[in-house]
Structure 1
Amino acid sequence: MDRRSLIKHAGIAGVLAAGVAPAVHAQQAVRWRLGSSFPKSLDTIFGAAEVFAQKVRTLSGGKFEISVHAAGEITPAFGVVDAVQQNSIECAHTAPYYFFGKDETFAIGGAIPFGLNSRQMSAWTFEGNGLKLMREFYAKYNMISFPCGNTGAQMGGWMRKEIKTVKDIKGLKFRIGGFAGKVLERMGGVPQSIPGGDIYPALEKGTIDAAEWIGPYDDQKLGLNKVAPYYYYPGWWEGGLQLDLYINQKAYDALSPEYKAIVEAASAYAHIEMQARYDVKNPTALKQLVGSGAKLRPFPADVMNEAFKQSMALYDELSARNENWRKVYADYSKFRSDQNLWFRFTEATFDRFMQAQKL
């Protein structure tokens, strides 16, 4: 039975509801290891890998088992791509932009400053050319990708001191996720690449002046409000961070058509559930953080404008020298323009009105 036949006879909803895919019981047992870039304490972002693995187990009737390992257990947080590429683990769950040092194009698969929001990113990935283009790129690293989560738009992070003008960015030692550090650097900041589990001690000891992670729910778990009082918004570098499931190409090719369909269905399920969890948990966490003394601040207009200017200049430079970037970003940027035109008249206008109401 091929994938189309599986979906035709059961449908994704039917397969998920039943918990067992047709004709899977005859399949051979498969055991994989998944390396995560996140600590277990962050149950929402780390939890997406667990949701994926559990769904694979359920849909396969227990025949396809994937053990999930937190950052540092079998590979460092930022070592998962190398591990998958070398087939020392079969798959990984991570943020693509962590690996921009290999090639800046990785970042487009996750989030780039002033890029797509989460809905737009899903649209580009699933119905635009995003998945096709990113898979062509990842093939150079012996991997195939599956979207596996999105955080939604993020907060701008925690500062030990107020940011009143763009001049306050100069010399700021800021833990910032992946690729966005290149823009911060152009603004005079000093980007720091630190895994999630190590942010609190670095901020507490004053090794860094500021740090961003994701948003209220995770930030509260990390305790960042205890060591830096000012909480900025928005995270202009992450309008919607998409997480990826990377699978070693050889390991994936060895799967049966049914197991490949299960991987696709399980990753799509985890993709949706992650953002749903964040959208449920973040409002309560934000209220609690403010109630405990966090001082909410918007980034000043000159910071936003300079960040945008530097981001666009960086993308032009990358397009001139990186063929991989140029190919993917040309399609991405055109898609972004069309999406923003559409959202301007619909989502954005509706959201602004609703947020002004006292409901």
Structure 2
Amino acid sequence: MDRRRFLKTATLGSAGATGLAAPAIAQENPQISWRMTSSFPKSLDTIYGGGADVAQYVREATDGAFDIQVFAGGEIVPGLQAADAVQNGTVEMCHTAAYYYVGKSPTWALGGVIPYGLNNRGMNAWLYYGGGLDQLNEFYGKNGLHYLPAGNTGAQMGGWFRNEINSLADMEGLQMRIGGLAGRVMERVGVVPQQVAGGDIYPSLERGTIDAAEWVGPYDDQKLGFYQVAPYYYYPGWWEGNLTLCCFVNQEQWDGLPDRYKALLQTASRAANTEMMAEYDYKNPTALRELVQNGAQLRRYPDEVLNATYDAAMELYSELRESEPDWGPIYDSMMAFQAEHFLWQQVSESTFAQFMQAKQSAGELPAQQQ
């Protein structure tokens, strides 16, 4: 079954099962035109593509009756103001990263990612089966928004640095582009966090106004050319074991949608969530190899840095429990599942991955024998 037919069946199947003729179904699909503003430029086709995919799936499934026009960051509002534009009714919806808005409240980050949080599979499991989606929508609903997960980058890289990091002392005073709660954690170990939109990172590194920057991973980072101005490429991206992108829909607009359109948006967002992760998993390996061939210097963060930032993150979360009334219940739910998730992964996924990675390192995988 093709995607268009699946989406139609998934959202309109109950009507079709009663034997309604196609014209009758079409009459029940009102003409709706919305605008979606993205936080990302079109040149970053994978991450921008999450919002574009949602719009495409909805348009195809309704034969154009529900039309969502997507605008890149900066075309209507700057990328980091996408959620604000939805809240104030400038647009009906946006595609963004929830942690961009921690200035409103740190709790916003829980719908995107927090340092030393869940990985992609864990986040999806918690959202869809662990009650996370309902808890987050209760929180975002207070802010006039409905939340729909719509893409994931998977575990990210740890950023580009103009100079090598050999110890925690080397982090002191660095001006680093880093978003979300990761900036607050980095601040506790001496880094000066900077909020810079994706399209402005390269010139900021080139001019030396920042010393380091994190973005996503090899595929996007290669497109942005960071290796040309900051050659040291660090891993792991401990602040983003996943990054759940999302669509925020204006709550009043969401409430006014026909139920079938709500179901369609939910289905389309889930499809985009899966699509983005698969695309990154396919494209990142080749991009990483090419980056290294072009001079990128891969480096693992020293254990001293990882341990210090982990401790700083746990300290921050403890403080947020006391200062942010919305934080505790959602965070506690996420962390309770995290303990179970990583135990299960340690037994199954990690053991298998470690064995296969050893075979890859030894040159023993089938493709390496050809």
| TM-score normalised by L of structure 2 | 0.91
1:320 aligned residue (319, 322, 333): 322
Look up the match of 1:198: 200
CA contact (8 A) 1:25 1:63 kept: no
Task: Pick closer, same or farther for the CA change 1:153–1:320 going to 2, 3 Å.
Answer: same
SS of the aligned residue for 1:147 comes to strand
1:258 is aligned to 260
* Amino acid in the other structure paired with 1:71: G
Following superposition of structure 1 onto structure 2, how do residues 1-359 of structure 1 map, counting pairs within 5 Å? 6-8=12-14, 23-357=25-359, 358=363, 359=365
- Please give the alpha-carbon distance, in whole angstroms, between the structure 1 residues aligned to 2:211 and 2:184: 17
Provide the aligned length of Structure 1 versus Structure 2: 349
Query: TM-score with structure 1 length normalisation?
Result: 0.94
User: Could you tell me which residue of structure 2 aligns to residue 15 of structure 1?
Assistant: none
CA contact (8 A) 1:177 1:213 kept: no
- Give, in angstroms, the shift of residue 81 of structure 1: 1.4
Cα separation, 2, equivalents of 1:322 and 1:342: 31
Q: Determine the C-alpha separation between the residues in 1 that align with 2:27 and 2:149.
A: 26
Aligned residue identity for 1:178 = G
CA distance in 1, matches of 2:23, 2:150: 20
Q: State the superposition RMSD in angstroms.
A: 1.7
SS across alignment from 2:180: coil
* Amino acid corresponding to residue 61 of structure 1 in structure 2: D
| Alpha-carbon shift at residue 38 of structure 1 (Å) | 0.6
Q: Which runs of 5+ in 1 are unaligned?
A: 12-19
Distance 1:149 1:22, change over 3 A: farther
- The change in CA–CA distance for 1:315 and 1:63 in structure 2 (over 3 A counts) is same
Judged with a 3 Å threshold, the aligned counterparts in structure 2 of structure 1 residues 22 and 44 are, in CA distance, closer, same or farther, namely farther
The residue identity in structure 1 corresponding to 2:285 is P
Q: Hey, what's the Cα distance between the residues in 2 that align with 1:36 and 1:21?
A: 34
Distance 1:42 1:314 in 2: 32
Counterpart position of 2:4: none
Amino acid at match of 1:232: Y
What SS does the aligned partner of 2:34 have? Answer: strand
Q: Match for 1:216: what amino acid?
A: P
- Contact kept, 8 Å, 1:84 with 1:91, in 2: the verdict is yes
Query: Aligned equivalents of 1:168 and 1:29: distance in 2?
Result: 57
> Equivalent pairs: percent with the same residue?
51
AA in 2 matched with 1:278: Y
